[in-house]
Amino acid sequence: MSDIHFHALGTARARSGEDPLVPFLLSARNNPVTVSARDVRRLDSHRLQLLLVAERQWLTDGADFKVKDMSPSFREGLQRLGLDSDYFDKENPQ
């Protein structure tokens, strides 16, 4: 069994270039992943898209992909962008 790869999202997406989430996801491919959203103050559509695409890819690959410790503003961002605030809490999100 592979080790779980962990990444803590920053408060907001990096404006100066690539978000650190991208290289993390590329390096963790095919391994169980846990992403912490505890420090997120603003969830934008780009970062949400990265998480949704990664979640789908990990599901296809048969590896665990979890988003944990969601801040209230992260949950509000999910709602603002059209998802339920508990989207990542669900066992098998669709």
Residue 26 lies in a domain: yes
How many domains are contained in the chain? 1
d(CA 3, CA 5): 6
CA 8 to chain centre: 9
Tell me whether residue 84 is in a domain: yes
Q: Is 82 left (phi over 0), alpha (psi -120 to 50) or beta?
A: left
Summarize pLDDT for 24-57 with one digit per residue, the tens.
Answer: 999 999 999 999 999 999 999 999 999 999 999 9
68 assigned to some structural domain: yes
Contacts of 22 (CB under 8 A, 6+ apart): 50
Report the CATH number at residue 14: 3.30.750
Q: List the domain range (segments joined by +) for residue 18.
A: 5-89
CA–CA gap between residue 39 and residue 12 (Å, rounded): 9
pLDDT in tens, 4-13: 899 999 998 7
Number of helices and strands (H, E) in the chain? 3, 3
50-92 residue pLDDT tens: 999 999 999 999 999 999 999 999 999 999 999 999 999 976 5
Answer yes or no: is 62 within a domain: yes
Q: Is-contact 33 4, C-beta < 8 A?
A: yes
The pTM of the full predicted model, rounded to 2 decimals, is 0.88
Q: Which of 87, 82, 77, 76 is nearest to 43 (CA)?
A: 77
Asked, for residue 80, whether it belongs to a domain, the answer is yes
